[in-house]
A and B are shown apart, each in its own frame.
Chain A
């Protein structure tokens, strides 16, 4: 099927020029945000790990663009793209990575643990596949509460061999849960290629057949295809309470995390260049929008520059924000003590 077919699918036909530009803008913002993060991480200004999403932006932006009021999102530790796509601000996200009080999790979670429940975004989870039962539970909750919505639960290709994922698929099918599992397949589980880590026939999503779950494979370089195929899965979840497994082929420009110094050893420069030229979702979408006459080169550059400026401002915001205090360590442990309830006054909750 050609890319044009997906552009003409109803869910993409319904996109206004303005909305298309918004999608492009979001992708550009994620890219520029992460480049700013990388620069400052490399300069030693942040702690922990930095798992970059660069090259995968069409997945978060394309899928989340389909979300309605009762659709929810949860992902693993490579979460910056999803966070910005649901509408979190660069400031609170950058400040979180800097470990500042103004961070989205008050500096308590870091890069891997961004959350915005008010935007239906439930993290940001550090343990590979640990989020897959939670995504199932969000779908369970929606069905229990009689909401016509679904949960998009993202995982990496390295997560498909974890037991929690398989338990989740079984339960999703058995209970009829409105959840869509989205495998963002960037080809590598940390430094181990798919062929060295995973026994499969055809593709990873095909394992869904064993659980009587529908599945599909998606070319992640085309945001139109991402939207068209994800929309089918979301409608199946919302209307029929049936799960789907989608495998979206994508690519990770950088290593598993920035600390992964070996990433240049397990892939060739030619491989990376080919991707940039032919598959980078931002380059591909930019070209399409130019062809469609929705964007001009000037407008595209303007959007990109604005994203760059916004990212630089978020760095400034983060750097100027206050550090957490010692007393902040003991808040956000228990709901009851945070809210100073009667229950919280009985017995000792904390120990020295």
Chain B
């Protein structure tokens, strides 16, 4: 199978949806003439022109709200946040308007937007540029959130997100943009991965490592170490979609291995892993042979220093150590 980088895979997904639906429009800071701050949209302006690929000023509340308003009339904006960290200046639009307008109108309105961009730590840019808000937004009913870890998942999920008739917040990762992976050829059919479906990235029998985004790759590395150095056969479950959430896949994995470590780049308080932990204890309590453990980002604003930031984030070493406390 051919390989693409994560950024190429997203770009191919965007391009295919621009082709499929005339109402899809991409907007954001530097997405057009500059070819994207992280080059995800490279070449799309040359191909599609000013109407479909729109550069906006640095004005997140303004252009995100504009996209929401346009979507109420049937336009399908895909809006890039240069960093998801900038959500805070558009928060009223992202939450009060996108998440709530359908409900407050008694179902008369829907908001078919996608907001996408990178949400990750690990690039030594300090706390303001390192927020990881998937748990935050998944906490608002009305919103959907997904976090792909591989090029294929990124392509399949961005296409599903664009076709979805509800607001989908799509969180990428600057450290994954250059990663290569197999992605099905468009000639073999329309490749769409539905929201709400987790994926077992590594089969295992002894413990479940449940993660999303870049943490999935950290889990896969940790799983190799666990096997080679400790004889532990770990299963790695990639949530892919945070809301809707594949609760059945989580419970099935727990029923198989009876031990769980949740790996989550968010902070410990109230993150995605906190919710998953609750679901496991409520629905699979009797399956557990050990307490549920978590590896999260160490609980402080993101550290800048290149010498220490990777230690603050989940990494294979921390995951292995945590697994060994219960397996």
Residues of A within 8 A of B104 (CB): 105, 108-109, 113, 115, 123-124
Question: How far, in angstroms, from A342 to B67 measured CA to CA in the complex?
Answer: 26
**B96 partner residues in chain A, CB cutoff 8 A:** 125-127, 130
B→A interface (CB under 8 Å): 23, 25, 51, 56-57, 59, 61-75, 92-93, 96-97, 101-110, 112, 141-142, 144, 160, 164-166, 194-197, 241, 243-247, 275, 279
Q: In the assembled complex, which residues on chain A have CB atoms less than 8 Å from the CB atom of B247?
A: 347-348
Closest CB-CB distance, A152 to chain B, in whole Å? 13
Q: A136 with B107: in contact, given A170-B59, A174-B57, A346-B194 (CB under 8 Å)?
A: no
A138 touches B70 (CB 8 A): yes
Contact residues in A for B102 (Cβ distance below 8 Å): 332-335
Is there an interface contact between B105 and A115, defined as CB atoms closer than 8 Å? yes
| Residues of chain A within 8 A of B97, CB atoms compared | 125, 130, 133-134
- Contact partners of A333 in chain B: CB under 8 A: 102-103, 141-142
Contact (Cβ within 8 A) B166 A334: yes
Given A140-B75, A332-B102, A332-B106, A134 and B68 touching (CB < 8 A)?
Answer: yes
B97 CB → nearest A CB, Å = 6
Nearest residue in A to B99 (C-beta to C-beta)?
A333
Contact (Cβ within 8 A) B106 A137: no
A171 touches B73 (CB 8 A): no
A contact residues vs B (CB 8 Å cutoff): 72, 74, 103-109, 113, 115-118, 122-127, 130, 132-142, 144-145, 163-164, 167-168, 170-171, 174, 331-336, 338-339, 342-343, 346-351
Secondary structure class of chain A's binding surface, majority of residues: mixed
> Which chain B residue has the least Cβ–Cβ distance from A118?
B108
- Docked-complex contact B197 and A138, CB < 8 angstroms: no
Whether the Cβ atoms of A136 and B62 lie closer than 8 Å is: yes
A155 to B279, CA, bound (A): 44
**Bound-state Cα–Cα, A211 to B57, Å:** 14
Report, nearest first, the 10 A-B pairs whose CB atoms are least far apart: A137-B69, A347-B196, A133-B65, A167-B62, A347-B244, A141-B73, A332-B107, A106-B106, A134-B69, A105-B106
In Å, the complex CA distance between A104 and B104 comes to: 10
* Contact status B69-A109, CB under 8 Å: no
Contacts known (A164-B62, A164-B92, A170-B57); A136 close to B69, Cβ less than 8 A: yes
Bound state CA distance, A339 and B160, in angstroms?
17
Q: List 7 A-B contacts (CB under 8 A).
A: A122-B72, A127-B96, A133-B63, A136-B62, A163-B61, A343-B196, A346-B196
Instruction: State in angstroms the CA–CA spacing of A350 and B66 once bound together.
Output: 28
Contact present for B165 and A108 (CB under 8 Å): no
Q: Which of B65, B92, B196 contacts A136 (CB 8 A)?
A: B65
With contacts A171-B66, A346-B194, A347-B195 taken as known, whether A336 is within 8 angstroms of B72 at the C-beta atoms is no
Enumerate chain A residues within 8 angstroms of B243, measured Cβ to Cβ: 349
**Which residues of A are found within 8 Å of B103, using beta-carbon distances?**
108-109, 332-333
CB distance from B245 to the nearest CB of A (A): 5
Asked whether A108 lies within 8 Å of B106 as measured between CB atoms, the reply is: yes
Closest Cβ–Cβ distance, residue B196 to chain A (whole Å): 2
A103 to B165 CA separation, bound complex (whole angstroms): 24
- Cβ–Cβ contact B61 & A167, under 8 A: yes
A170 to B58 CA separation, bound complex (whole angstroms):
11
